[in-house]
Structure 1
Amino acid sequence: MNFYLNTLGELPISLEEPFTVNWTAPSNIALVKYWGKHGKQLPCNPSLSFSLRESTTTTRISFSPNKSLKVALNFQGQENEKFRERLERFFAGLGEVTHFFRHMEIDIESTNTFPHSAGVASSASSLASIALCVSSLIYHATEKEMDDGFYRLASYFARLGSGSASRSVYGRYSIWGHTSILSSNDEYAMEFKDYDPLFAELSDAILIVSDREKRISSTVGHSVMNVNPYADTRYLNAQKNVLKIIDAMKKGDLLRFFAIVEQEALEVHAMMMVANPPHLLFEPNTIEIINRIKEFKERTALPVGYTIDTGPNVHLLYFDRDKEKVMPFIEELRQFCQGGKIIFDGLGVGPVRNRIE
């Protein structure tokens, strides 16, 4: 039985009058990467991420009773037919989970604080904000008081739309996927809170090597893992790396933390390079930045590192206490960024429910 039915069951709920809700949710950056899925958006390996402070999506949804499902979308002040169709499939899928979503008109207004193709997952923050609105609707319709289960339910809904979105319903750090720690599982993410206080100061300079659309979509990237000859080794490594990075974060072992984060970034790109057909997602300036970060660490012994999602842009990670020492180096890297563009971000506190004006 899926998490929703196991939690609420097919309750005799209905929407008698329109309900409007507004949530802001962050994007997140995976430190241990989710790459490869099975079933209905279930991960082949666990992942650990941190939610961003500045890169967010705000979504306002008006739910109204209707004879059938109807979805309208205004994204960034414009119609976006491709994303609207994706959301229509998402809500149709929720109708398969519970009849509640089969008879509803859903009017969505959504905006991002960050540009598309900026090395930040817009689908994670978008689907998380939508899922939080959906969870609010369920709690409203069932007259439930908000509790810890609210965010688990939102994470479950978000995962059905975008795997990484399951982690964006929380602030700071979260884990998604079954591993031997806590109560983690594949159906929804959960917060990770047991770490050295220094990790509350994590900052992220997003170095925009290219703002072009990704060469391959995440959907295609996940699918090639199904026939990748090294997939099983990758999944086992990720399982081990989640446990290793948690131990490093608990002990405040910064060298080990960054070693794991960088290994994860390169290993996922290696999986794409040995795929059939192969995909090389780095740009020349990506490699230049990686090499310069390595030289900077050796020269200064400062605790910095990098991660890279499935594209060419580099996230330079450092701690607030070292900002004055790291900033001149970041400015040196600006020459390798398209148009000199860098987005400054860091660890965020998580989603916020906004007042309806």
Structure 2
Amino acid sequence: MTQSDFVPFGTFNLLSEGVVSYQSPSNIALVKYWGKHGEQLPQNTSLSFTLSNCFTKTRLSFKQKSDTSNKVRFKVLLDDKEEPSFVPKIKKFFNRIEKYLPFINNYDFRIETSNSFPHSSGIASSASGMSALAACLMEMEKILRPEISKEYLINKTSFLARLGSGSACRSLEGPLVVWGKHPDVEGSSDLFGVSYQGEVHKNFKNYQDTVLLVDKGEKQVSSTIGHNLMHDHAYAQARFRQANTNLSKLLSVLKSGDQDAFIKIIESEALTLHAMMMTSHPYFILMKPNTLEIINDLWNYRDQTGSKVCFTLDAGANVHVLYPENEIKDIHNFIDQKLSKYCQNGHYINDNVGSGAKKL
């Protein structure tokens, strides 16, 4: 599919008013996307686990305008309270998607959203939030154009979500999603995420992810600024090549079931992401002392027990602890007894891979 395929033609039979609701999860990248070009397009391919328990619920109410204004109007609420800080991002999103959903200018919207995790927890809510909103808007298009296919619906939803937040395009399906054109993944695209359909060994089924909340504050640097730092980065091109090579290696590992090779790729990807931030101009250190304490304790535990637990990181201080389903009891004990002390107020979230967004 090309970008022009998502521009509808003809007229819509508009509804006077209605409500649609969706729930969409966050995701955690295994191979990281860092650096973009054009309008929210990735510089390298990424692969992620879709999560299950960390999600956003969005209720979108729409009512046809009584005036001739051709500007999108909306009100946004978080946990039943107006949230002005969300307005600029959503306004930019509506501006970007107007040509793909031209009917939105005919409505006033009320966006009511809530997260299954505290908004200030340090877990990025943009992926779950923007994917849930995109899913609601595409449900509107489906009502107005019932002839659209299931494939078109999911691809366009991911395409729109990407225009709100790059990683949001990976939250709509699961358990593994690829975003970015890659020769080893049939149907992959820079325009939207696709569910990975290749062979996955039983070792990597029903994977677990416990999010250790080291720092619940706002990000030290926004994702937009972080991605922009890659434009003139001395190591950018080498990093993009490395990520695409790592994705090829990881697909082979997922097929073979080699958990040790999985660990090496996943942890290397996490540390490389932070290395790119530490070597950019301006430079940032996003890890906290407790992040490093967790990593070292986890490495020691793995050496002593032979566990297949590993870690990954987003662009922040929190640690995602990844482990196979058959280690749940042992890892939960390890986290509770050893790692929770490094978390702010001892808080962490137990999660697992999921299947993506769902209509409510």
Letter in 2 for 1:29: I
Task: Please give the secondary structure, in 2, of the residue aligned with 1:27.
Answer: strand
Structure 1 unaligned residues grouped into runs of 5+? none
In the other structure, the counterpart of 2:133 is: 130
Residues 41-56 of structure 1 aligned to structure 2 (within 5 Å) = 41-56=40-55
In the other structure, the counterpart of 1:342 is: 348
In the other structure, the counterpart of 1:30 is: 29
2:214 is matched with which residue: 172, 189, 209?
209
In the other structure, the counterpart of 1:74 is: 77
- The answer to whether the Cα contact below 8 Å between 2:7 and 2:100 also exists between their aligned partners in 1 is no
In the other structure, the counterpart of 1:222 is: 227
- The answer to whether the Cα contact below 8 Å between 1:119 and 1:314 also exists between their aligned partners in 2 is no
Tell me whether 42-51 or 341-350 shows the greater mean CA deviation: 341-350
1:182 is matched with which residue: 172, 186, 189?
186
Deviation string, structure 1 residues 249-289 (Cα, Å, up to 9, x no partner): 11111111111010000001000000011100111111111
In the other structure, the counterpart of 1:252 is: 257
Structure 1 residue 191 corresponds to structure 2 residue 195: yes
Letter in 1 for 2:51: L
Q: CA, structure 1 residues 183+125, in 2 after alignment: closer, same or farther (shift >3 Å)?
A: same
Aligned positions, number: 353
In the other structure, the counterpart of 1:154 is: 157
CA–CA distance in 2 between the matches of 1:148 and 1:19?
24
Alignment RMSD? 1.5
CA–CA distance in 1 between the matches of 2:346 and 2:293?
15
Structure 1 residue 109 corresponds to structure 2 residue 136: no
TM-score by length of 2: 0.94
Tell me whether 217-226 or 119-128 shows the greater mean CA deviation: 119-128
Letter in 1 for 2:355: V
- The answer to whether the Cα contact below 8 Å between 1:21 and 1:62 also exists between their aligned partners in 2 is yes
Instruction: Give, in angstroms, the shift of residue 46 of structure 1.
Output: 0.6
- The answer to whether the Cα contact below 8 Å between 1:29 and 1:120 also exists between their aligned partners in 2 is no
- The answer to whether the Cα contact below 8 Å between 1:28 and 1:121 also exists between their aligned partners in 2 is no
Letter in 2 for 1:185: S
- The answer to whether the Cα contact below 8 Å between 2:177 and 2:193 also exists between their aligned partners in 1 is yes
Instruction: Give, in angstroms, the shift of residue 290 of structure 1.
Output: 0.7
Deviation string, structure 1 residues 28-61 (Cα, Å, up to 9, x no partner): 0111111101111000011000111110101111
Deviation string, structure 1 residues 273-315 (Cα, Å, up to 9, x no partner): 0001110011111111111111111111111100000001111
Tell me whether 217-226 or 88-97 shows the greater mean CA deviation: 88-97
- The answer to whether the Cα contact below 8 Å between 1:51 and 1:350 also exists between their aligned partners in 2 is yes
CA–CA distance in 1 between the matches of 2:53 and 2:10?
38
Percent identity for Structure 1 against Structure 2: 36
Instruction: Give, in angstroms, the shift of residue 11 of structure 1.
Output: 2.8
Tell me whether 191-200 or 343-352 shows the greater mean CA deviation: 191-200
- The answer to whether the Cα contact below 8 Å between 1:15 and 1:64 also exists between their aligned partners in 2 is no
Structure 1 residue 61 corresponds to structure 2 residue 60: yes
Task: Please give the secondary structure, in 1, of the residue aligned with 2:230.
Answer: helix
Task: Please give the secondary structure, in 2, of the residue aligned with 1:324.
Answer: helix
In the other structure, the counterpart of 1:20 is: 19
Instruction: Give, in angstroms, the shift of residue 62 of structure 1.
Output: 1.6
Deviation string, structure 1 residues 193-212 (Cα, Å, up to 9, x no partner): 33113322211111111111
Structure 1 residue 313 corresponds to structure 2 residue 318: yes
Letter in 2 for 1:65: Q
CA–CA distance in 2 between the matches of 1:268 and 1:303?
22
In the other structure, the counterpart of 1:263 is: 268
Q: CA, structure 1 residues 214+7, in 2 after alignment: closer, same or farther (shift >3 Å)?
A: closer
Instruction: Give, in angstroms, the shift of residue 19 of structure 1.
Output: 2.8
